[in-house]
A and B are shown apart, each in its own frame.
Chain A
Amino acid sequence: MKPRMDGLDRLSDDPRSVVDDGSRQLVSFRVGNEEFALEIQRVQEIIRHQSLTRVPNSPDFVEGVINLRGKVIPVIALRKRFGVDYKPQDGETRIVVLEVRDMVLGFIVDSVPQVLRVPIKAIVEPPRIFEGRREYVTGVAKLQDRLLILLDVDRVLECGEVAAVAGQGG
């Protein structure tokens, strides 16, 4: 597999994916038993899991740092962030690389992400059961056979302890 999702890049540059044609393009992936989704424009690339270097005394959710073509970026374990039990990496584990407030970082996810187009009318306000996670869930997309939880990338990092750390970065 090519590590970069060149096709994805092109799609996100395609004005049609941004123009409001009644649908949105999302990247979906599993973390634990749930399926999450991000706006495709936010995703820089998706890479295979690689060996991490732990940074002592760094915040708990920072799993470590990796070398992304010469650039050292931190990697965040979404399982930890979402309070899901630890699971060792396997062949499906991927790192979604994205840029959040001028910093490049990676999210560890459980499955190979998929790109899909979701009609806007399928996206609804998060139901009450998401109360506790309201801050980083912007909505829910109901598809025929499954439910996607839409993540607000900036907020995933903003909440709680992450905010304190990200704040120090400036």
Chain B
Amino acid sequence: MLPIAEDPELLQAFLVESGELLQGLDHDLVKLEACPTDQQLLNQAFRALHSIKGTAGFLALEPIVRVGHRAEDVLSDIRQGRLQFSRRIMDALLAARDQLGVMLADLRAGGLKQYSLDSLLSQLEQVRSAEASSLSPKVADPPLVPSPQATAPPQNPDSGRAKPKVSAVSREPTAPAAQSMRVDVRKLDELINLIGELVLERNRLLQLTKDVARGRGVCSTSDSPLMHCALRVSFITEELQAAGLRTRMVPIETVFAKFPRMVRDLAHSLGKEVELVLRGQETEIDKTMVELVSDPLVHLVRNSLDHGLELPQVREQAHKPRRGTICLQAEHEGDHILIRITDNGAGINHERVLRKAVEKGLVSEEQAARLSTREINELIFLPGFSTVENPTNLSGRGVGMDVVHSNLRKVNGSVELDSKPGEGTVITLRVPLTLAILPVLLVQVAAEVYALPLRSIEQTSRFVPEEAHQVEDQEVIWMGKEALPLLRLQNLFPDKSASQPAATQKVVVLEAAERRIALVVDGLLGQESTVVTPLAPYLNHCVGIAGTTVDGDGRVRLVLDPAGLIAAAASAGQAVSR
């Protein structure tokens, strides 16, 4: 049997639990800074540290124990009223929390490394004594002499858990732990019930096919027992698919949790005052989406703080409250999640954006003069755009907004920006609830069948060739009161085996990010729900293709990317004129 400290399952459970506790700790500490007397928050933070430390001791993760222990001491002093919260104490506690985060990440990646914890530990020790022995300015700024012996045992005599340092560090690096997550038992129960039903139905199906094989069953009518059974199986499978996906849903809180801390640190370093409001944290989102939206959100919130919100003095001059507000809000809308980042800052300076775009050669002078407000806002998402004259390490590196944009487009999401000068900016991310299942319309073009995501389809109708007109380089068609660019897939996907177009063609009006095109197809074959997998990485630059799916016969079918097709249609006109 493995010693307890080596048990991978225990370790895994510790990692999951501590990860959650640390995230909560972040949140609590930042809140405590705002209301230092909140006993409940204090207790919560204390308990979090205590249980991380406790389990780490159990698992002989000695560096974690040492840091946890010192930080706990500080909180304990505060709890007992021997210490008052101050900025220095908070910085020390947050530093300890960060160190714990680093160590947990290392552990997750294989094993603890060597850490020089002395300066952190003495920082924690000193805030205790300095603040407690009250107010001597000399002690308040102590030189943190790093001891040459980085792995000195803890000074604190009562930490009896201090095992020889080597025990935790020189341990064979374990293989990277598999990712795991917590799932509500009710979701699992639902899943297992459905599997039970499926098994029953499978048994019935086997029996029925046997009967048919013996010539006993009747399977030629649409009302046969076999048909009923197939329908049941189909129904249960759909339910099962949905239930399976639900197990992967987590509250978006897991994404939001890191923002209070981030905003606090950033606001301090920028000299800004800000209140962060979080709403709709219980909104559920697919675990696979969490990673995808997490980075863009960090970037956008940073941008709001850095570019959007003004300095307190400037805000006062503009008759706004000193303290700015950033609101992060999540809500469901159909099969999407909307995440809104609202700030009441200065808004986007359209003149500056335009000037910059012209300078960088992203648009010409004449183009710039004709752009609508909306189009100006969209300039920000172009690659290579950045308006900050002196790039800071926070933002303004010109990579970012365009990355946000392209990342979201990859998953069929979108980002929109609305801004009023002087009043603030609203950025809306629209992210599909899940990557996995997509309702599609199957269309035929020449010999190929393609799948079009249903949500981008506005309407379909008969194609009347006489209604198409050539305007300069672009074919357009009147749909209602609007002329839409016309796209023929054959032009985009050259195919040597050119076949006659069908006698009666159809048009499908596609919409993405409020731009629309009309796609000519040879036939509409019907709808289905399908599982989409992305194309192999080295094929993913193929314009207009979002991924693949496998049809009932096992053949691979291409899923078209409406946004890509729209972009391609826009550039196709120019290509012809060259």
Find B535's partner among A55, A70, A105 (CB 8 Å cutoff).
Answer: A55
Q: State whether A56 touches B539 (Cβ < 8 A).
A: no
- Asked, given contacts A56-B545, A72-B533, whether A62 binds B558 with beta carbons under 8 Å apart, the answer is no
A73 at the interface (CB under 8 A from B): yes
Question: Which A residues are CB-close (under 8 A) to B181?
Answer: none
Interface magnitude class on chain A:
20 to 34
- Asked, given contacts A55-B558, A67-B555, whether A74 binds B539 with beta carbons under 8 Å apart, the answer is yes
Q: State whether B535 touches A56 (Cβ < 8 A).
A: no
CA distance A166 to B540 in the complex (A): 11
A15 at the interface (CB under 8 A from B): no
Q: State whether B556 touches A169 (Cβ < 8 A).
A: no
B272 at the interface (CB under 8 A from A): no
Type the 1/0 row for B518-558, where 1 means its CB is closer than 8 Å to any CB of A.
00000000000000010111111111110010100011111
Name the residue of chain B whose CB is nearest to the CB of A72.
B548
In chain A, positions 109-140 with a C-beta closer than 8 Å to chain B are: none
CA distance A65 to B540 in the complex (A): 13
B141 at the interface (CB under 8 A from A): no
A53 at the interface (CB under 8 A from B): yes
Name the residue of chain A whose CB is nearest to the CB of B533.
A72
Question: Which B residues are CB-close (under 8 A) to A57?
Answer: 492-494, 542-544
- Asked, given contacts A58-B542, A168-B541, whether A67 binds B493 with beta carbons under 8 Å apart, the answer is no
Q: State whether A67 touches B550 (Cβ < 8 A).
A: yes
CA distance A103 to B539 in the complex (A): 12
B495 at the interface (CB under 8 A from A): yes
A165 at the interface (CB under 8 A from B): yes
Q: State whether A73 touches B536 (Cβ < 8 A).
A: yes
In chain A, positions 43-86 with a C-beta closer than 8 Å to chain B are: 51-58, 62, 64-67, 70-74
CA distance A51 to B558 in the complex (A): 14
Q: State whether B492 touches A56 (Cβ < 8 A).
A: yes
CA distance A113 to B554 in the complex (A): 25
CA distance A15 to B536 in the complex (A): 33
What distance in Å separates the Cβ of B522 from its nearest Cβ neighbour in chain A?
16
What distance in Å separates the Cβ of B575 from its nearest Cβ neighbour in chain A?
13
Name the residue of chain A whose CB is nearest to the CB of B537.
A169
Find A62's partner among B539, B544, B555 (CB 8 Å cutoff).
Answer: B539
Question: Which A residues are CB-close (under 8 A) to B537?
Answer: 103, 168-170
Q: State whether A55 touches B557 (Cβ < 8 A).
A: no
Q: State whether A55 touches B538 (Cβ < 8 A).
A: no
Question: Which B residues are CB-close (under 8 A) to A103?
Answer: 536-538
Q: State whether B539 touches A55 (Cβ < 8 A).
A: yes
Find A58's partner among B492, B533, B539 (CB 8 Å cutoff).
Answer: B539
Q: State whether A53 touches B543 (Cβ < 8 A).
A: no
What distance in Å separates the Cβ of A56 from its nearest Cβ neighbour in chain B?
3
CA distance A103 to B558 in the complex (A): 20
Question: Which A residues are CB-close (under 8 A) to B536?
Answer: 65, 72-74, 103, 105, 169
Name the residue of chain A whose CB is nearest to the CB of B538.
A169
Q: State whether A70 touches B550 (Cβ < 8 A).
A: yes
Question: Which A residues are CB-close (under 8 A) to B494?
Answer: 56-57
What distance in Å separates the Cβ of A63 from its nearest Cβ neighbour in chain B?
12
CA distance A62 to B448 in the complex (A): 17
CA distance A105 to B492 in the complex (A): 26
Q: State whether A53 touches B538 (Cβ < 8 A).
A: no
Question: Which A residues are CB-close (under 8 A) to B548?
Answer: 53, 65, 72
CA distance A9 to B537 in the complex (A): 27
CA distance A51 to B493 in the complex (A): 19
Find A51's partner among B540, B543, B545, B555 (CB 8 Å cutoff).
Answer: B555
Question: Which B residues are CB-close (under 8 A) to A167?
Answer: 538
CA distance A105 to B539 in the complex (A): 12
Question: Which A residues are CB-close (under 8 A) to B545?
Answer: 55-56
Question: Which B residues are CB-close (under 8 A) to A169?
Answer: 536-538, 540
CA distance A66 to B551 in the complex (A): 12
What distance in Å separates the Cβ of A49 from its nearest Cβ neighbour in chain B?
13
Q: State whether A56 touches B493 (Cβ < 8 A).
A: yes
- Asked, given contacts A66-B556, A67-B556, A72-B556, whether A56 binds B538 with beta carbons under 8 Å apart, the answer is no
Q: State whether B541 touches A72 (Cβ < 8 A).
A: no
Name the residue of chain A whose CB is nearest to the CB of B557.
A53
Question: Which B residues are CB-close (under 8 A) to A67?
Answer: 550, 554-556
What distance in Å separates the Cβ of B551 from its nearest Cβ neighbour in chain A?
9
Looking at B495, B543, B556, the one whose CB has the most chain A CB atoms below 10 A away is: B556
Q: State whether A53 touches B533 (Cβ < 8 A).
A: no
Question: Which A residues are CB-close (under 8 A) to B542?
Answer: 55-58
Type the 1/0 row for A139-167, where 1 means its CB is closer than 8 Å to any CB of B.
00000000000000000000000000111
Which positions in B face A, CB cutoff 8 Å?
448, 492-495, 533, 535-545, 548, 550, 554-558
A-B contact pairs, 26 of them (CB 8 A): A53-B448, A53-B557, A55-B539, A55-B542, A55-B545, A55-B558, A56-B494, A56-B495, A57-B492, A57-B542, A57-B543, A64-B556, A66-B556, A67-B554, A67-B555, A72-B536, A72-B556, A74-B536, A103-B536, A105-B536, A165-B539, A167-B538, A168-B537, A168-B541, A169-B538, A169-B540
Per CB-CB distance, the 6 closest pairs between chain A and chain B, nearest first, are A56-B493, A169-B538, A169-B537, A53-B556, A72-B548, A165-B538
Beyond the given pairs A56-B542, A70-B550, A105-B536, 6 more chain A to chain B contacts, judged by CB atoms under 8 angstroms and listed by A's residue number, are A55-B558, A56-B544, A62-B539, A72-B548, A165-B539, A168-B541
